[in-house]
A = this chain, B = another copy of it.
Amino acid sequence: MSSHIVVFLPDGACVEAASEQTILEVAAAAGVAIDSACGGQGTCGKCKVMVTLGQPGGRPGEGISPEERERGFVLACQSTVADDLVVEVPVESQRGELQILLQPASGGLEAAPAKDDVPLAQSVGLRLDPPDRTHNLGDGERLLGTLSAQLPGRFTHLEMDLPVLRSLPRLGRQQDWRLEALVGDFDGRGVVFGLAPEASRPGDGAPTEGAGGPSYGLAIDLGTTTVVVHLIELATGGVTRACASLNDQITYGEDVISRIIYSQEHPQGLARARDAARQTINRCLREVTEAHGVQPEQIIAAAIVGNTVMTHLLLGIDASAIRREPYVPAVRSLPVLRAAEVGVEIHPAAPVFLAPCVSSYVGGDMTAGVLATAIAESPQLTLFIDLGTNGEMVVGDREWLMCCSCSAGPAFEGSGLEYGMYATIGAIERLRYHPEADRVEYATIGNARPRGLCGSGLVDVLATLLRASVLDRRGRINLGFPSPRVRVRRERPEFVVVWGEEAGRSDDISLGEDDIQNLIRSKSAVYAGAATLLESVGIEASSLERILVAGAFGNYLDAENAVTIGLLPDIPLDRIRFVGNTAVAGARSLLLGRQARAQAGDLARRMTNFELSIVPGYMDRYVAGLFLPHTDLSLFPSVARRLELAV
């Protein structure tokens, strides 16, 4: 095994790599963000790069034209480092960070932190008594004594990290014993993990708890496809800034199973998967901190919510047992860890809380979602669906909760579709097609120029095209439909959503038949999961008092359209509510309150896991769902009515 030097342009990253590694793998390890949607399968064509020096090994990959080949273009996932290479990543293949618009979540899930609750970490302003021979207390004892008096009853025990003790004698005397102590909540034990001079305060500067110099925490939704990071001001609980990014782990596979296989079969697989997740989080956090002028050391806590596999891989814990009988994870709940051991580049001693998981396939994202929606405290019988790459759902009320998960794929996150995109600035989130005028009416996030379609827009486009008979019930485009929007390009039937001219771009934003099939598979997996779960507990969909839907849809989801395409069961529309990204909302609660952290642990133990994959009925239901809305129209009476009207 020989190794070569690879230089990436325009980044300028220069790394050494083994000859059998693909260019995409090397780029991922080097932190060079190359787009990829198929997990390195060579099918999406998004990772096209130009090799300007050296002869890569492997294959150029499919979808590269002879002219492109001539100019050195290859698919980064199919070509290997057989030589020293200079690789240019064209703009189209660069994966940029995604700017997220911060709007109040429709679910109203962002209440201010309770005054008497204990955040995961807090900055406490202290005025210590000067040293005194009579009491003969050490600096450390005086600090802990003052802290204990200031936060009475909050902690079972208070202690101090060694580096804090090292800085205390000098800093205390320099600052005349006016200090800010960073105090973490480690399962009820208070640990002083940082120390700073007293922050300049507005007003007279009387010691006040928690109101010190601005301290921040991170609420992190570590998704299989997308990572979302919110920067939270701890004193107010306000979300200061947010960032989303594709998870760099995508290089190692699109879904959790392929990630496990990669991490298991490659000698460095687990470490690479871990590093890719860390790298994604750290890139997002740099984005939010730099944009807001916050120093990494000012971030003193993080709550991370991920599915079970994401949680394992982030921590470098072998997840291979998750895909083997009897499908047991290495761990469901973790102690509060330190940022340095998790690899999150904030204050290195800061506490990091990982949302506890229920089972191998129902993770911390579901625990956080149940927490954020408070369905475990509600008398209403609720079905809650968190539609991520791993679609997780729970049914129940304050008496009982039964949960399961299905592999939905990332289509509704916009991944794997030609013009799909995450719910961020420029994503089309609402859409209606008026066939009589051949006009598409749409709204984009941030009212920006349209760049693509996010989940809610995709739901709308499917429903509106079905109603307009542009689509048949199998998801086929009616090529006889009298509109120039309906066309065949590169042998692909497609519908032009926005003309390039209108969008201010050289190409048209379209939805192809392959994209539509992808979305149908995804919605069918979710619907079949919900139906199987409901059947397992003997509940008719019509008895549901609420369906709550969470996911990366943006700020909007049209309930009628979601039912029309058969994503959600056909119940009265006023019982369906979109609740936004409950994973990140839950992460925020976990960051801000000990009660939430304790409740998450209870929930993870209390929720009953239902293993969908071993129920034979699930697969039949999935296949039956590969229609719009379903093969069995009796399950969707209101849709049948509307479609008959429309037809």
A residues near B, CB below 8 A? Answer: 131-133, 136-141, 157, 159-160, 162, 165-166, 168-170, 173, 187, 189, 315-318, 320-321, 325-335, 337, 341, 357-359, 609, 611
Chain B residue, CB-CB nearest to A362? B136
Question: CB distance B166 to A317 under 8 Å?
Answer: yes
Question: CB distance A170 to B318 under 8 Å?
Answer: yes
Complex contacts, A159 vs chain B, CB 8 Å:
187, 335
Question: CB distance B611 to A133 under 8 Å?
Answer: yes
Question: CB distance B187 to A157 under 8 Å?
Answer: yes
Complex contacts, A141 vs chain B, CB 8 Å:
331-333
- A329 in contact with B139 given A131-B321, A187-B157 (CB within 8 Å): yes
Q: Give the secondary structure class of A's interface.
A: loop
Smallest beta-carbon distance A408→chain B, Å: 22
Closest 3 CB pairs of A and B: A140-B331, A131-B328, A133-B326
Question: CB distance A165 to B315 under 8 Å?
Answer: yes
Give bound CA distance, A326 to B173, whole Å.
Answer: 13
Give bound CA distance, A173 to B330, whole Å.
Answer: 11
Question: CB distance B187 to A133 under 8 Å?
Answer: no
Complex contacts, A157 vs chain B, CB 8 Å:
187
Question: CB distance B169 to A321 under 8 Å?
Answer: yes
Query: Within the oligomer, what is the number of copies of this chain?
Result: 2
Instruction: With a 10 A CB-CB cut-off, give which of A141, A318, A331, A335 has the most chain B CB atoms.
Output: A331
Complex contacts, A139 vs chain B, CB 8 Å:
321, 328-331
Question: CB distance A327 to B133 under 8 Å?
Answer: yes
Question: CB distance A132 to B326 under 8 Å?
Answer: yes
Complex contacts, A329 vs chain B, CB 8 Å:
138-139
Question: CB distance A162 to B341 under 8 Å?
Answer: yes
Smallest beta-carbon distance A420→chain B, Å: 34
Smallest beta-carbon distance A371→chain B, Å: 20
Question: CB distance B137 to A334 under 8 Å?
Answer: no
Complex contacts, A320 vs chain B, CB 8 Å:
169
Smallest beta-carbon distance A23→chain B, Å: 30
Chain B residue, CB-CB nearest to A143? B331
Chain B residue, CB-CB nearest to A139? B330
Give bound CA distance, A357 to B139, whole Å.
Answer: 13
Chain B residue, CB-CB nearest to A609? B136
Give bound CA distance, A273 to B508, whole Å.
Answer: 70
Identify 23 residue pairs between A and B in the complex whose beta-carbon atoms are under 8 Å apart, listed by A's number. A131-B328, A132-B328, A133-B325, A136-B609, A137-B332, A138-B328, A138-B357, A139-B321, A139-B330, A140-B334, A141-B333, A157-B187, A159-B335, A160-B331, A160-B335, A162-B334, A162-B337, A165-B317, A166-B315, A166-B316, A168-B331, A170-B318, A173-B321
Smallest beta-carbon distance A466→chain B, Å: 40
Add 13 more A-B contacts to A138-B330, A173-B321 (CB < 8 A).
A133-B325, A137-B328, A138-B332, A140-B333, A141-B331, A159-B187, A159-B335, A162-B315, A162-B317, A168-B331, A169-B320, A169-B321, A189-B189
Smallest beta-carbon distance A318→chain B, Å: 4
Give bound CA distance, A315 to B317, whole Å.
Answer: 32
Complex contacts, A337 vs chain B, CB 8 Å:
162
Smallest beta-carbon distance A317→chain B, Å: 5
Chain B residue, CB-CB nearest to A318? B169
- A317 in contact with B136 given A141-B331, A328-B131 (CB within 8 Å): no
Give bound CA distance, A165 to B168, whole Å.
Answer: 33
Complex contacts, A358 vs chain B, CB 8 Å:
136
Complex contacts, A133 vs chain B, CB 8 Å:
325-328, 611
Chain B residue, CB-CB nearest to A130? B326
